[in-house]
Amino acid sequence: MISKLIVWQATTQRYSRLLPVRIAFLLVLLMILVFISLSAVSTGAVRIQRDVVFKVSVDAMAEKLHLDYDSGLDYSARCLPGQSCIQRDAALVREIRWPRVIMAGLVGASLAIAGTALQGALRNPLADPGLIGASSGAAVGAVTAILLGVNIGDVLHSDAPALARLTQSLFAFGAALITTFGVFRLARWQGRTDSTSLLLIGLAINTMASAYIGLATFISDIREVNDIVFWTLGSFAEIFWRDVYVVVPFTGLSVVVLPFLARQLNLMTLGEAEAQHLGVNAERLRMICVALAAITVGVSVAFAGIIGFVGLVVPHLIRFFTGPDHRIVLPASVLTGAILMIAADLWARTVAIPTEVPVGIVTALFGGPVFLVLIILSRRGRG
Amino acid sequence: MVNHLDAQHLHYHIGKATLVRDISLQVNGGEILAIVGPNGAGKTTLLKLLAGDLHPQSGQVLLNGHPLHHHKPLELARQRAVMPQQASVSLDFTAYEVALMGRHPHIRGSETREDHRIVEEALHRTEVLHLREQLYATLSGGEKARVTLARVLAQQTAILLLDEPTSTLDLRHQHMTMQIMRERAKTGVAVVAVLHDLNLAAMYADRIGMIHSGQLAFIGTPDEVLTAANIHAVFGLAVEVLSHPTHQCPLIVPLATNGHVATPPEIGASAGRKVLADQRVTSAPHLG
């Protein structure tokens, strides 16, 4: 069975070098993404028919874009207690489900593209946004905000709970950038950055961060512990449009810029000196990739907490099918990261209704075994 | 196009260890300069200085009259290619994809039919075209070296810097590699190759630079540099220099005495350097 799979894999990798095959592959992923998004929006504690979801979404888009279109849904139907009705379903779809699903997609895409870029730029298949300190740094920032009890609301004389959360997000984002910059700075020696020491320093920083978070959990009261668990295990609960609007430009930056560096990332696999000989400014490339990864992952963690494994596994998963060319791996990992995260969040919020499982647990639960299988298969494939 | 690499008084040290000491040399288009010397003499460091990987603490390298660091990486990559000693690829690219990477400095947007033609020609010339679909990581050492050579040739540069291009190759492919270098030199390319095999250097190089503990001990034509006295002074090996039966070049044959091929050089670095200094005057008229 395994040998058959490997022959099959060799075939897919050969064909995936053809441009039409690549485009078709991306289109298929895009279709899966649309399908799973619609499914995720229709599924939940309240089940909403998929055609209703579709019509409500189209109506909402038409309204935003000032298009003269009407799906014919009757929004004025009276809501009876205990029954589903268009009006309530529409509100649920528009204000709760879509922002959550889109945020999950954005965060999944961010983590996956950051992981791909880091693995390429650092020439290390173990590189992961978590390993360079972005995730744990963000968690340390958020936990610090929780422990100190800081809240922008106090300054603004408002006690909206969203402001407490926003404060934690800002702390998380700031700390993610500071930590990544610190790791990068420590790894820099005589104007050069050594990938191995970068990862080892990241590991050391991560250890310190988890000690800090552990200690914080130990000395906190129950309510604070709940908040801390949210940050360390990740969740897409309580995500609204305003959060999505903040994340879009950051994710968009990586998604737009990184594919332009795809060929240079390919050259990096030859080695840093060899890439330089072929005209790549390796140091600059690495700085751009690390900076983009830190910003994108930092903002993702600031809203969704630490979600492990996606950044590590998705690039491996894509390469397993398409081969290592970053020109296909980068866009494919954006779509696959989004698909997997939406699926993971769907599972996390529906498996134990009415409670939710932290999504970070789901990604680790599935990501771990998948990673193991990939490693074993690719080892056999090499003979 | 003038292809001219000019190293002026290069000096490079790490901590207290001096790896390259005041080396000056020029390479012109159309010639092959072989760099020879014992292990740890500083050959690779010298090549890295010429390539711009390392920056000398003093001295400079001029490419067509301009210091290396004035050239942008991409601009530099269109003028000189470097073949590393060992080339590993961290992801599963095929041999063809690796060779195609050599076209990077010339590709704007995406690769053209012409790029593919050049790569195929290079793979054909280094006799690895049949391995094109194989994963680079699964190739043997010699096959990897030939794919890497194809990558370097596909870069189509006026200057070639090669670090032991023949060390993993069988006899036939060693000569194939050097013949390719001769062909390229004939079209005006300047070639600098670090070589271990003195006979290979003798057969193909126009000039040979012999490095000893970071210094350029001798430089000149194969006949001038590859003398028994020079080789004994630098390598600590007794040899007899014959003349090649068919080529106009020296042929170096190690001498075995009492079952030992090598006689250790004089004990103590200072003694060795003194011998060297004496011979520098007598047998290296080009120097200085």
Q: What is the pLDDT of residue A260?
A: 92
Q: Is residue B36 part of a domain?
A: yes
Query: 3-state DSSP call for residue B58?
Result: strand
Q: How many CB atoms are closer than 10 A to CB A310?
A: 34
Q: Are B170 and B16 in contact (CB under 8 A)?
A: no
Which of the pair, B274 or A280, is modelled with greater confidence? A280
- Give me chain A's average pLDDT, please: 85
Secondary element (H or E) of residue A327: helix A326-350
Q: What is the mean pLDDT of residues B179-183?
A: 94
Give the one of A263, A277, A280 whose C-beta lies nearest to B51's C-beta.
A277
Residue B133 contacts A, CB cutoff 8 Å? yes
B161 and B34 fall within a common domain? yes
3-state DSSP assignment of residue A222: helix
What are the contacts of B249-253 at 24+ separation with CB within 8 A? B249/B202, B249/B203, B249/B222, B249/B223, B250/B202, B250/B222, B250/B223, B250/B226, B251/B199, B251/B202, B252/B198, B252/B199, B252/B202, B252/B226
Report if residue B177 sits inside a domain: yes
| pLDDT tier at A73, thresholds 50, 70, 90 | confident
Range of the domain at B45: 4-79+157-283
Q: A195 touching B, CB under 8 A?
A: no
Helix (H) or strand (E) holding A11: helix A2-15
CB contacts of A323 in chain B (<8 Å) are: 92-94
Looking at the structure, do residues B68 and B168 belong to the same domain, yes or no? yes
CA distance B141 to chain A (A): 15
**pLDDT of B186 higher than 90:** yes
> Which DSSP string corresponds to B212-274?
ETTEEEEEE-HHHH--HHHHHHHH-B-EEEEE-SSSSSEEEEEPPBTTBSB-PPPSSHHHHHH
**Amino acid type, B135:** L
Q: Which of A14, A192, A278, A321 to mutate to test the interface with B (most CBs of B within 10 A)?
A: A278
H/E stretch holding A338: helix A326-350
Q: Are A311 and A149 in contact (CB under 8 A)?
A: no
**Phi, psi for residue B201 in degrees, rounded to 5:** -60, -45
The residue among B155, B185, B200 that closes a domain is: B155
Whether A184 and A132 have beta carbons less than 8 Å apart is answered as yes
Task: Output the CA angle B210-B214-B217, nearest 5 degrees.
Answer: 35
Q: Give the residue, A10 or B218, on which the prediction is more confident.
A: B218
Check: CB of residue B208 under 8 Å from CB of residue B43: no
Q: Do the beta carbons of residue A303 and residue A246 sit within 8 Å?
A: yes
Q: Do A274 and B104 touch (CB under 8 A)?
A: no
Asked if residue B173 is part of any domain, the answer here is yes
Question: Same domain for B131 and B93?
Answer: yes
Cα B278 from chain centroid (whole Å)? 27
Same domain, B131 and B225: no
CA-CA distance, A310 to A114, in Å (whole number)?
Answer: 10
**Regarding beta strands B159-163 and B32-36, do their DSSP bridges make them parallel or antiparallel, or are they unpaired?**
unpaired
Judged by CB atoms closer than 8 Å, whether chains meet at B93 and A274 is answered as no
**Residues in A 260-289 with any Cβ partner in B closer than 8 A:** 263, 266-267, 269-271, 273-274, 276-281
In DSSP terms, which residues pair with B191 in a beta bridge? B32, B160
What is the CATH classification number for the domain harbouring B55? 3.40.50.300
* Residue of chain B minimizing CA distance to A272: B53
pLDDT of residue A383 exceeding 70, the answer is: no
Phi (first) and psi of residue B14, to 5 degrees = -115, 115
Q: Give the model's confidence band at A253: pLDDT under 50 very low, under 70 low, under 90 confident, else very high.
A: very high
Please give the single-letter amino acid code of residue A195: S
Which tens digits make up the pLDDT trace of B117-140?
A: 999 999 999 999 999 888 898 899
Whether B127 and B232 share a structural domain: no
| pTM given for the model | 0.85
Q: Give me the percent of chain A exceeding a pLDDT of 70.
A: 91
pLDDT band, very low/low/confident/very high, at A161 (cuts 50, 70, 90) = low
Q: Are B212 and B41 in contact (CB under 8 A)?
A: yes
The band of B252, judged by pLDDT with boundaries at 50, 70 and 90, is very high
B71 and B191 part of one domain: yes
The predicted pLDDT at position A2 comes to 65
Please report how many Cα atoms fall inside a 13 Å half-sphere around the Cα of residue B283, on the Cβ side: 23
> Between the CA of residue A249 and those of A30, A253, A256, B88, what are the distances in Å?
20, 6, 10, 37
Of the listed ranges A11-15, A322-326, B35-39, B174-178, the least confidently predicted one is A11-15
Domain residue ranges in chain A: 2-45+99-382
Distance from CA of A327 to the nearest CA of B (A): 11
Among A38-52, A78-92, A302-316, B12-26, the minimum mean pLDDT is found in: A78-92
Cα angle at B273 between B271 and B276, to 5 degrees?
115
Q: At what angle do helices A161-187 and A222-233 cross, to 10 degrees?
A: 50
The span from the CA of A362 to the CA of A266, in Å, is 32
Q: Per the CB < 8 Å rule, is B77 touching A278?
A: yes
pLDDT greater than 80 at residue A55: yes
Chain A residue closest in CA terms to B152: A278
**Under a CB-based contact definition with an 8 Å cutoff, are residues A151 and A167 in contact?**
yes
Check whether A261 has a pLDDT greater than 80. yes
Q: What does the alpha-carbon distance between residue A226 and residue A234 come to, in Å, rounded to a whole number?
A: 11
- Does A20 have pLDDT greater than 90? no
Residue B137 carries which DSSP code? Answer: G
Distance from CA of B38 to the nearest CA of A (A): 24
Give yes or no: residues B146 and B108 share one domain: yes
A179 is written with which tokens?
């930590």
Using a CB-CB distance cutoff of 8 angstroms, which residues of chain A are in contact with residue B135? 382
Residue by residue, DSSP assigns A80-140 as PTTS--HHHHHHIIIIIIHHHHHHHHHHHHHHHHHHHHHHHHTT-TT--TTTTTHHHHHHH
In angstroms, the Cα distances linking A163 to A156, A243, A323, B123 are 9, 12, 45, 63
Using a CB–CB cutoff of 8 Å, tell me whether B253 touches chain A. Answer: no
Of A13, A270, A323, which is closest to B101 when you measure between CB atoms? A270
Decide if pLDDT at A200 tops 80. yes
Task: Tell me, yes or no, whether B279 lies in a domain.
Answer: yes
Mutate to test the interface with A, among B72, B82, B90 (most CBs of A within 10 A): B90
Q: Is B77 within 8 Å of chain A by CB?
A: yes
Residue A50, CA distances (Å) to A39, A90, B215 in order: 7, 12, 78
Chain A: closest CA distance from residue B176 (Å): 23
Residue B288 has pLDDT above 60, yes or no: no
Instruction: Give the integer Cα–Cα distance in Å for A309 and A302.
Output: 17
Size of interface A-B (CB pairs under 8 A): 74
Name the closest residue on chain A to residue B110, using Cα atoms: A263
A274:B84 CB<8 A = yes
Same domain for B139 and B165, yes or no, is: no
Could you give the number of structural domains in chain B?
Answer: 2
Position B91 scores a pLDDT of 84
Domain A2-45+99-382 in CATH 3.40.50.720? The answer is: no
Contacts of B53 in chain A (CB under 8 A): 273, 276-277
Q: Which residues of A touch B82 (CB under 8 A)?
A: 273-274, 277
Residues B60 and B143 in one domain: no
User: Pick from B77, B90, B107: which is nearest to A277 by CB?
Assistant: B77
Whether B89 and chain A come into contact, CB under 8 Å, resolves to: yes
Q: Which of B44, B91, B159 to mutate to test the interface with A (most CBs of A within 10 A)?
A: B91
Is the domain of B122 the same as that of B210? Answer: no
Contacts of B76 in chain A (CB under 8 A): 279
**Does the pLDDT value for residue A59 go beyond 60?**
yes
